[in-house]
Structure 1
Amino acid sequence: MKAVQVMGYGDVDMLELVDISIPQPKENEVLVKVKACAINNTEIWMREGAYGTGSKSGWKPEGVNFPRTPGSDISGTIVKVGELVEETLIGKDVVLFPFTSSGEEGVEHISEDMAFIGSEYDGGYAEYVAWPADLCLDMPLPSYEESAVFSVSGLTAWHMVSQIQIKPGETVMITGANGGVGSLNVQIASKVFGAKVMAIVGDLSGEERLKELGATHVLSYKSKNLTQEILEMNGGPIDSVLDVVGDSLFSTSLQVLKKGGKFCISGSAGGQKTELDFRTLYLKHITMYGSVLGTKEEFKDLLQAVTEGKIKPVIDRTFPLDKAKEAQIYFKEKGKLGKILLLPEEA
C-alpha cells in the first residue's frame, strides 16, 4: 500500500511517500481502508520534536520509533477482521477513537500507558490501518470527509468545554477560533452548552462564518485594544477562556477573566513558554486546566451531537495523500477556517 511516513525528527522533508505491506489485524483488531484523514497539530509537533525537552519527543518519554506513519483523525471502511472479531463488521463505515489505554473509564486519557495512533502506532496517512475493533465507532455522518474531522480535534474540544463546566449564558473566550479545535470549541460551547462565545482570530474575513457556527462576537488578536474591546462587548469580565494559542494571548486572557474565572489550554501555537505573575492567579481566584484528548464516553457524546446536527464539520481544504508535505505546510498558514484533509484514494 501507499503510505506517508516520518523518517525522523525535522522539517517536512522528513515525510516520505513509501510502498509498504498492508498491516494484518491482530486477533482483536480490524483492518480499515482509510477514506479520509484530517491533519492535526499533534503529528506536526511529533515530527518537529515539539513534545520533548531533549532529543526524544512523542506522547511517551522514550520518543517515537521511526519510521512512523502519522495521522489520527481517520474515517474508513472495515475490510478485514481478526480472529476474535465478528465478521459482520466487514463493510462497516467507522471513525477511530485515537488512542489505547488501560486506564479506568473516565480517566483513560491520563493513564501512564496511553498510546496514540500516529505516534505510538502507525496511523492514517496510508491506504490501510489496523486498529482495535472496540475503538472503531459508527461514522456520525454519511460522508467520510465530514466524519473524519472530529476524532482528535472534536474530542479535545469537547473535553475542554466539559472541564470548565460551562453553564448556559456564561461568556467564554475562544482563541484560535478559526482552527480545527477552535472552530469546534465555538460550536460545542454555544450550540451544545449554551454559552456566549467571543471568538478570537487574526483575519476577520471569516467573521460571518464563525457567527454561523455560534460565535456572539468575533475579534482580531491584532487589535491594539483587544482587552478593552472584550470587556466592553461583554459588559465586564468574562467567565472562561478556552485557549489553543499559548503565550501570545495569555496575558490578555488573565486580564479579561472575572474573579473565580477558568482558563483551559490545549495548545501553544502562539508560544510554548510564558511569563506568569502568580499574584494574578491567587488574587483573582483563577482555576487553570491543562487539557488534551478526552474519554471514550465523551467521544460517544460528541459523535451523538454531530449525528443530531448540533455540531457541523468545517473543512478548509483537501489534499491527496501524496501531497502530505504541501498539506502540512498549508496547515501552518494563517487565515484558514476548519480542517485540512488527506484523501488516500485521490493519490
Structure 2
Amino acid sequence: MKAFVHEYGELTIKEMNEPFADHGQVAVSIRTAGLNRRDVTIAGRRGNEAGALIIGSDGAGVIASIGEGVSEFSVGDEVIINPSLGWYEHRDAPPEQFDILGMPDNGTFTELIVLPAEQVERKPEHLSWDEAGVLALSGLTGYRALFTKGNLQAGETLFIPGAGSGVATYLIQFAKNAGARVIVTSRSETKRKQAIELGADRALDTNSSWPEELKEETIDIVIDSVGQATFNRSLEVLKKGGRIVTFGATTEDVVELNLRQFFYGQYKLIGTTMGSQEELRAMLEYINTHQIHPIVDRTFSLDDAREAMNYLKESKQFGKVALWISE
C-alpha cells in the first residue's frame, strides 16, 4: 500500500506492507485525511530517527475488514477516525495513557489503517468525504475548548485571534449555533470576509488597536491558539473576571505575564487539548443536529502530500487542508 512517511529525517511516499485486522480491530480503507499543525512538527520532533512512520491524525474511510470480536461495525460501513487514543470519558485532564494518532503509532496518510474498533465512529451522512476527513482532531479540540472548558453560554461574546485556522472555523460555527456573538481577527482581508460569511459578527484587522476597536464590546471569553504574539493583547480586551482558553501556540509558546494585573483582573486562564471519546461523540451529535459542515480550503492528492504540508506551514488556508487518498 502507498503511504506518506517520515524516515531518516525525510518525508516521502513509500510502499508499505498492508496491516491486518486482529481481534477487536478494524481495517479502514482511507478515502480522505486531514492535515494538522502537529503533522508539520513531527519531522523536527523525530529528527533522523530510523524506521518509517506513517504520519497523519485525521481521516475518514470505509471498513475494509474486521477482526474477531467486532460486532458494532460491518464491512462497508463509512467511518471517521478518532485520533484521541486512550481517552474515553470526560475528565479535567487527559489520562496518563493518552496519546495522539500519527506518532508514535502509524497514522492516516495511507491507503489502509488498522485500529481498535473503539477508535472509529460512524461518518455523519451530510458530510462529503473531504469534510469528514478533516473533522475529528480540530472539531474535537474546538468543542472541548468552547463548551467543556470555556463553558460558553448563549448571549456571551467570544473573541478568537486568528480567523483562518481549522479550529477557528469550527469555533465560529459552534458558537453561533449556541447563540453567542463572535469576533475574530486576521491580517488578511480575504480571511476576514470569509469569517463574516461563515457567521462571525465582526472581523478585525490583527494589526489594528483592539482596545479601540472593541471599546463598545464586552468580551466574555477568548480562545487563543496563537501564543506569544496575541496572548497579552487578548487579555487587554477581555472583561474583568473573563476567561481565556488556550490549546496551542503557532507563535512562541513562552508568554510573559504581569501577575499583579492578572489577579487584579480576576481572569481565569484555562488550558485544554484534544478531548475524550465522550466529547467526540457529543461533537458529532452537535454537528449532526445543526448540520454543520467543516470548511475545507484545499484538497491535495496523497502524491502531493509534501506540497500540502508546505501550504499549511505558510498559513495560507482558511479552514482545513485535506488529502485525497483513494476512491
- If the TM-score is normalised by the length of the shorter chain, which range does it land in? over 0.9
Alpha carbons 2:40, 2:313 under 8 Å: kept? no
**Structure 2 residue matching 1:308: 3-state secondary structure:** helix
Q: Provide the residue aligned with 1:30 in structure 2.
A: 26
User: TM-score, length-normalised on structure 2?
Assistant: 0.93
Q: How many residues align?
A: 325
Unaligned runs of 5+ in 1: 50-55, 58-63
Cα 1:41–1:308, aligned 2, differ >3 Å: closer, same or farther? same
d(CA) in 2 for partners of 1:80 and 1:33?
9
Q: Provide the residue aligned with 1:245 in structure 2.
A: 226
- Deviation at 1:261? 0.7
Does 2:164 correspond to 1:178? yes
Please tell me the residue identity of whatever aligns with 2:28. V
d(CA) in 2 for partners of 1:226 and 1:157?
23
The match for 1:21 among 4, 17, 20 is 17
User: TM-score, length-normalised on structure 1?
Assistant: 0.88
Alpha carbons 2:35, 2:322 under 8 Å: kept? yes
Alpha carbons 1:127, 1:344 under 8 Å: kept? yes
Alpha carbons 1:173, 1:199 under 8 Å: kept? yes
- Deviation at 1:100? 2.1
Does 2:252 correspond to 1:278? no
The match for 2:283 among 286, 294, 302 is 302
d(CA) in 2 for partners of 1:312 and 1:109?
28
Alpha carbons 2:84, 2:274 under 8 Å: kept? no
The match for 1:195 among 161, 165, 180 is 180
Unaligned runs of 5+ in 2: none
Cα 1:108–1:31, aligned 2, differ >3 Å: closer, same or farther? farther
d(CA) in 2 for partners of 1:301 and 1:285?
31
Please tell me the residue identity of whatever aligns with 1:33. S
- Deviation at 1:227? 2.8
Alpha carbons 2:139, 2:283 under 8 Å: kept? yes
Does 2:194 correspond to 1:221? no
d(CA) in 2 for partners of 1:28 and 1:129?
14
d(CA) in 1 for partners of 2:73 and 2:317?
40
Matches within 5 A, 1:322-337: 322-337=303-318
User: CA RMSD, aligned part only?
Assistant: 2.1
CA deviation profile, 1:37-86 (whole Å, cap 9, x unmatched): 0100122122222xxxxxx79xxxxxx88421111111000001111113
Alpha carbons 1:65, 1:120 under 8 Å: kept? no
Alpha carbons 1:200, 1:220 under 8 Å: kept? yes
Matches within 5 A, 1:1-347: 1-8=1-8, 14-49=10-45, 66-86=51-71, 89-101=74-86, 105-107=89-91, 110-140=94-124, 141-162=126-147, 163-191=149-177, 193-223=178-208, 225-232=209-216, 234=217, 237-345=218-326
d(CA) in 2 for partners of 1:153 and 1:332?
16
- Deviation at 1:202? 1.7
